[in-house]
Structure 1
């Protein structure tokens, strides 16, 4: 498949770059967006492209023998790539907290986290993110008391986020 690809920065002159070429494997939806997963023969690697940024070229490309996506599960492969891994479908930074909220209020916003009801107004949440500070910020959006079970890196991230918030709250001099 040959196509032009518009970056997040915006449109480019279609003739300014050579067409991208991939051997398409699957079209997958994630968080309301369609993604093409395909093998890039020039880079000898799997690539993921947002379908809404693609403009097909004619002719669209030669025939090919389909490959198996690593691990065999397309959804797990896409999820792992979004988490920064080629194979492991886990976040690089994972933490565990207890929130003073009912599980029913946590679950819709937990993403791929694990939600465990501890009582009528307490919930354990095991979740992850790209960085410790990003994880702390994501957890702070619950707007409730948060008890960090672990690891210490998550506690440190909350402290760093707290210092940033304190600086941001200072009036201008």
Structure 2
């Protein structure tokens, strides 16, 4: 059976994750009786946590908003989560490594020795972002998105001409941060890299949001990265059978699909900007392959084969072009 101290810590953790918890649901999550939940709620109140209760058959508990809570308590999993999140701050792409290190040390100081050791044991090397964003820029742009105010900013060169846009969303993808916005000067949707944005003052006034030409901001960004207007798909997608085990091909296909046919062959369903680019993706494996379809991919393969034959039968590299 879980000890009362550990159970109360789990109970407090649950109360902090959502607004209302039915008593019966809390009892089921903690694998105890509703009476035990009531007793643990009383103990938390004695420690200074303001927890309100609602009566009736569906009665439950709520941790009061704005409570002045005692020193923070964390369970083992929460301690590890905090350490991983703060130590991996550099991978976020926002220039907050120093602040994250100070935050981790501050939190560490208020934890019991057992959890401090858990945090100290978490050591790893994170991935480096493709570009770093100033946290002040992230705050300013995010505030403009939230308040629906026109954003004025320099793009690329800090002293360049100001751009004006209606900010829709900020999205992190592939180690970079992007602003999706309606460009008022170009009268179209645009994607801006946040590490190249320099906000200008004064900012613009409020605007009425336009409907995004995609289900959501992430889909819109993924679609634009593939050359599509609104759908997260490549302009050219084809099927190829290649003479390699699926395990050797799968790590290099990214968002494509790999189907094992035999121990030494697999089928690829992959996309790219063009049919020739798709073939280039496959030829890098340096293995025999067969084009399954569609017909434009087969036609591109024939064209590429002619080009390669012509290149192979051309003059040797040291030949005199004038002779």
The answer to whether TM tops 0.5 is yes
Name 1:155's counterpart in structure 2. 301
Q: Which of 3, 14, 32 matches 2:159?
A: 14
Against the structure 1 CA distance between its residues 3 and 102, is the aligned structure 2 distance closer, same or farther, given a 3 Å change threshold?
same
Map Cα deviations across residues 34-53 of structure 1 (whole Å, 9 max, x no partner): 22111112322110011122
TM-score (norm: length of structure 2): 0.46
Q: CA RMSD in A?
A: 2.5
Name 1:55's counterpart in structure 2. 198
Unmatched segments (≥5 aa) in structure 2: 1-150
Map Cα deviations across residues 94-117 of structure 1 (whole Å, 9 max, x no partner): 221112222232222212212212
> Is the Cα contact below 8 Å between 1:132 and 1:157 reproduced in 2?
no
TM-score (norm: length of structure 1): 0.81
The answer to whether structure 1 residue 68 and structure 2 residue 236 are counterparts is no
Bigger RCO of structures 1 and 2 (CA < 8 A, at least 6 apart):
1
- Cα distance in 1, alignment partners of residues 248 and 239 from structure 2: 17
Compare 131-140 and 83-92 and name the one that shifted more. Answer: 83-92
- Cα distance in 2, alignment partners of residues 160 and 33 from structure 1: 40
Name 2:152's counterpart in structure 1. 2
Against the structure 1 CA distance between its residues 98 and 24, is the aligned structure 2 distance closer, same or farther, given a 3 Å change threshold?
same
> Is the Cα contact below 8 Å between 1:101 and 1:121 reproduced in 2?
yes
Decide which structure has greater strand share. 1
The 5-angstrom pairing of residues 3-42 of structure 1 reads 3-6=153-156, 12=157, 14-15=159-160, 18-42=161-185
When Rg is computed on C-alpha atoms for both structures, the one with the higher figure is: 2
Residue correspondences, number: 166
Unmatched segments (≥5 aa) in structure 1: 7-11
Decide which structure has greater helix share. 2
> Is the Cα contact below 8 Å between 2:158 and 2:198 reproduced in 1?
no
